Amino acid sequence: MQRAALLMSSRLLGRLGRPGSRNPTTQRAVLTLPAACQFCIPSHARSRHGRTQPSQRESFAVRAAATDQDVLEAEGGLLEGQGRLVQWYPGHIARAERRLQEQLSQVDAVLEVRDARIPLSTCHSQIAKWCGNKPRVLVLNRLDMISERDKVAWTRHFNAAGTHVCWTDGVSGLGTGQVKKAAMEASAEINAKRKNRGLKPRPVRAVVIGFPNVGKSALINRLLNKRVCDSAPKPGVTRNLRWLRLGGDLDLLDAPGVIPASFSDQLAAQRLAMCNDIGEASYVDSFIAAALLEVFRELPAFAAINERLKQRFSTFLQAELSGEEYVEGLAERLFQGDAERAGQRILKDFRNLALGRMALELPERR
């Protein structure tokens, strides 16, 4: 990833602008966001209540960078671009976050869902703070979208950090039984305490929380074995919080996707865009596609991915060609010079697995 980071700085970021700045072409906001993983914080770095120490919090803190103006605008949730307002921190998310925090006091356990392709970039810096010392279950969804090798690498990584991971496929339902079991186990002491006090057991209450489009609703539908939540291939479908009962022993709180109010890690923000985990109004497809191509170069499976690029677009991503040049070349050949359409095609192929199953983040390559 380091080479990608360098290339990004020298090539793409040159055009995208620095974190917190504007894309010079579109004047859209450049997204940035944190990419550290709270589940990987060594236990000695946590306080008794599961919160991180100030120095750790500092490094995970969500920060808008660059200009004060952007920070101000970001906190207002709106950025101006191309003569109109581009919403990247939509009002419904701000509202939902407030309601979510109100509801959290009633919750026994937290099911934190992340995208298995980008387990670090879909780590929300505030979740640990909101949830305090409530038991948390880490769910890595979209298992079908990564390779077995990626899964093994991440499992080893999380195991080393003492974190048990539930792997799920929200479409086929694979792994959802394990999630239910983990939630029940994590909250078992709730009913043990009630029993000690002579109270009747009650259903365990768990909230399902995570970035937009990571598959929370699909997972809930699978846990309930019926379609109770709207689930669609775009971020921001779930808009309201609601409680759902799972067979009498587990209540689930379905929450809209949450995103930080401001961002600090440019590469992580781009990965969210690559994986469609953030509203498409927030980014420019051609730039994100070019960035994706640079990420491909750093992956162990690059040779196989490059073969697929050749099959799909008749050209290899050669060493001397930047991602941006590849997109531009594709635009010339197939899309009458329209780089946006070329970018959309590459992103679509990646998201539909036409370029293969892969995680964009690997533990040893951050």
Which of 34/235 has CB closer to ligand GTP? 235
Please, what is the minimum distance in Å from the beta carbon of residue 238 to ligand GTP? 3
Q: How far apart are CA 213 and CA 224, in angstroms?
A: 19
279 binds ligand GTP (CB under 6 A): no
Residue in this structure with the two tokens 């539930």, named with its chain if needed: 166
The region of 17-25, 27-35, 234-242, 259-267 touching ligand GTP under the rule CB under 6 A is 234-242
Which of 280/338 has CB closer to ligand GTP? 280
121 binds ligand GTP (CB under 6 A): no
Contacts for 302 with CB less than 8 Å, ≥ 6 apart:
296
Please, what is the minimum distance in Å from the beta carbon of residue 233 to ligand GTP? 4
40 binds ligand GTP (CB under 6 A): no
259 binds ligand GTP (CB under 6 A): no
122 binds ligand GTP (CB under 6 A): no
Residue 189 C-alpha from the chain's centroid: 30
Q: How far apart are CA 187 and CA 143, in angstroms?
A: 25
Write each residue from 171 to 190 as x if it is in contact with ligand GTP (CB under 6 A), else as -, in one continuous string. Answer: x-------------------
Question: What are the structure tokens assigned to 129, written together?
Answer: 């703070």
Write each residue from 137 to 166 as x if it is in contact with ligand GTP (CB under 6 A), else as -, in one continuous string. Answer: ----xx-xx---------------------
Which of 142/271 has CB closer to ligand GTP? 142
**Nearest to ligand GTP by Cβ — which residue?**
170
Which of 155/322 has CB closer to ligand GTP? 155
Under rule CB under 6 A, how many of the chain's residues touch ligand GTP?
23
